Structure 1
Amino acid sequence: MKISLCLFLMLLFQQLYAGEVYEKGMSALRSGDYQTGVQLIEQSAQEGDKEGQFTFACLLETMNRYDLAIPWYEKAIAQGHVEAHITLAVLYYAGLGTAKNYEKAYSLVKKGTDLGSKNGYTLLGMILFHGYGIPKDTKKGLYYYELAIQANDKDESALSDLGIIYTTGKENVKKDIKKGIMYLEKAASLGSINAQLELGFDYYQGAIVPKDWKKAYVYWAQAAKKGNSTAKENLASLCRQSPASCQ
């Protein structure tokens, strides 16, 4: 299971804060005493510790209580918690715990980015490039996608999206097949199903890379192993056409 954005940020920044109750809660969580840890983190949140509020919201997300997480993110934001802007933006973008609201997602992620967070670059790039809830700006979208990869070269979402953009020339972006395939291969190696599917198609069709059905099989098999139905269907078709490619 991939770590959620909020838990990643929680683990990344927890050492920057030293509220006694909060630290006791984090210590309990690290030692495996989940019940005590959650209780102490909630206590620190109730007492107004902005890091406690952020972390408690993250913990609520792990319980799929996105509706309860939202007000705690809002409280943390009111106290100046930068990363809470990003995690709350994700909930509004995905419609988790609330109705989808692209305009609000954009406003939050832009504010968090302006305040110095690098963790919202991918979402900001996605919203701008596709024009979700705001006027489309493909140039700025590409800029933030590239920033995302510069900030974290293992950002599989940014790598996969940019790989598809550069190999297909989406939104009239100038094609860069070499760069696009490089991004897709890295994203696929990190576990991106979208990248695995796309590379499978590319090697199956042979339009932008040499046709290689064995490679197509490898990438589709990776996606199928994770339960992707499209990959499973593609594999079945490929193996009927060329049993040797599936060995």
Structure 2
Amino acid sequence: MLLLAAGLAWGLGPWSRAEAQQDSGWFMTEAARYYNGVGRAVNYELALRLYRKVAESGNAEAQYILGGMYYHGIGTTRDEREAVMWLLQAAEAGKSTSLSRYILGYSYLKGELMPQNYAEARRWYGLAAAAGYRQAKNDLAFMHYNGLGGDRDLRQALTLYESAALQGDAQAQYNMGLMHATGSGTELDRVKGYAWFSLAASQGNSGATSARNGMIADMSWDELTRAQDLSMALFRRIEELAPAPSAVSATANEGAEGAEVLQPSPLDALP
């Protein structure tokens, strides 16, 4: 009970940055306990306040978790601008994941939450893509295709699109279909275009459905047969490449809605 009372007093009362920095381990432990409900009721609001004070003292781990909480509205109203600010500070201090790097790349590309900067967008996307994050590969390919933040490179765009498409990204599959169907960065190949469009369409991509259906009238029966066979072969390859559920890495998260951003330190590491 004394520990709980002390935690509440520290959590709700003022303290200096120096105090938060000096006792950051204690604050981080208390914040994680309130976040997870260990030895007390879950209290996201108090966890947020504790993490914020440590984050303000320059702790990258706290900045990273705080960014995730703001991004998903945990213990506070969702605030993407605040989230990106903290995620950027954490990343620049060396604490980031493939998802947080992707968020930074996207934010720099769009220029809505921070000043638009294509070079920075390409840099953060590149770091996320190198870690295997498929959406980052798709967006980085888009930047290479359009020459944003650097030279236009259709070959590199195709390579990145294919890598993301083979990880099951529907938008990348659509983009692969488009490049093959139009001969952009590669030879025109309607069979490959149709096959990739079919894969994206099977995941609900309406643009791919329209593009695939629009190709049928101009394709021979032999081409359609080969395209359907190729689509099935690609589908099997994607399934073979997919990691087992238990083997999916948090740093290569492929679309789980941001879980890796907002988890505090593992509870088994807490004293």
TM-score (norm 2): 0.58
Consecutive unaligned residues in structure 2, runs of 5 or more: 1-28, 56-61, 226-271
1:143 matched residue in structure 2: 123
Superposition map of 1:19-34 within 5 A = none
Q: Distance in 2 between matches of 1:126 and 1:70?
A: 27
Is 1:87 the counterpart of 2:68? The answer is yes
Residue identity matched to 1:135: P
Is 1:131 the counterpart of 2:111? The answer is yes
Q: Compute the displacement of 1:83 (Å).
A: 4.0
2:218 matched residue in structure 1: 241
Conserved? CA contact 1:54–1:76, under 8 Å: no
Report the count of equivalent residues. 181
Please list the CA deviations of residues 84-132 of structure 1 after superposition, one character each: whole Å capped at 9, or x if unmatched.
Answer: 234335437xxxx956x44223212212313432211111111113312
Q: Distance in 2 between matches of 1:191 and 1:110?
A: 28
Conserved? CA contact 1:148–1:158, under 8 Å: yes
Conserved? CA contact 1:125–1:144, under 8 Å: yes
Please list the CA deviations of residues 153-198 of structure 1 after superposition, one character each: whole Å capped at 9, or x if unmatched.
Answer: x210111111111122246x31112221111100000111111111
Q: Which of 153, 167, 178 is the aligned partner of 1:176?
A: 153
Residue identity matched to 2:193: A
Is 1:185 the counterpart of 2:166? The answer is no
1:201 matched residue in structure 2: 178
Is 1:74 the counterpart of 2:11? The answer is no
Q: From the CA coordinates, give the structure whose radius of gyration is larger.
A: 2
Consecutive unaligned residues in structure 1, runs of 5 or more: 1-47, 57-67
Deviates more, 1:192-201 or 1:235-244: 235-244
Q: Name the SS of the counterpart of 2:86 in structure 1.
A: helix
Deviates more, 1:234-243 or 1:174-183: 234-243
Call closer, same or farther: CA 1:226–1:138 in 2, change over 3 Å: same
Conserved? CA contact 1:124–1:144, under 8 Å: yes
- Greater percentage in helix: 1
Q: Compute the displacement of 1:238 (Å).
A: 1.4
Conserved? CA contact 2:119–2:148, under 8 Å: no
Call closer, same or farther: CA 1:239–1:169 in 2, change over 3 Å: same
TM-score (norm 1): 0.63
